[in-house]
Structure 1
Amino acid sequence: MPLLILGFTAFFVLAWWWRRSRTLTRMCVWREDRRRAAPGESFHHCLTCGAEQALPLGQEPRHCLRNPQAAPPPQE
């Protein structure tokens, strides 16, 4: 029984962590532009909202930089 409770707890913690790490940039479509990157960093450009971000080499954007007021209204 304790193993079952531990399994359920581990499942929910892992599911929460997986969803949290995958949905932070769901509105943005990031692409790396190596031509515009300075030595030792990576440059990313969003195809959806046009945001640009320079990060240390090997890192990817984790946050959507879209302005919520500039976003188009949701389509029904």
Structure 2
Amino acid sequence: MSALLLIAGIAAVFIYQWFSKRGSTLTRACRWRMDRSVAPDFWRCAACGAETRGDEPRACMAQE
């Protein structure tokens, strides 16, 4: 019984990590920084210099 719970727990951890990774496309090259001196919702990528407004970007704008 405990071995079955251990296997189920390990599987649950891997499934959780897989689902959480699917929701984010950020890579190490994308380093978004909020610049409130421009606007309260202004973001600039420290890696490529892309700029956007709104919520924190989930992908690099240079790849689009």
Q: Please, what TM-score do these two structures have when normalized by structure 1?
A: 0.60
* Misfit runs of 4+, over 2 Å: 17-22
Unaligned runs of 5+ in 2: none
> Distance in 2 between the 1:6 and 1:20 partners?
21
The aligned counterpart of 1:71 is none
The aligned counterpart of 2:8 is 6
The aligned counterpart of 1:29 is 31
Structure-to-structure mapping, 1:65-76, within 5 angstroms: 65-67=61-63
- State the SS of the aligned residue for 2:14: helix
Identity across aligned pairs (percent)? 39
> Distance in 2 between the 1:21 and 1:29 partners?
17
The aligned counterpart of 1:44 is 43
> Do residues 63 (structure 1) and 59 (structure 2) align?
yes
Tell me the matched-pair count.
Answer: 61
Larger helix fraction of residues: 2
RMSD: 2.3
> Distance in 2 between the 1:25 and 1:51 partners?
14
> Distance in 2 between the 1:19 and 1:67 partners?
19
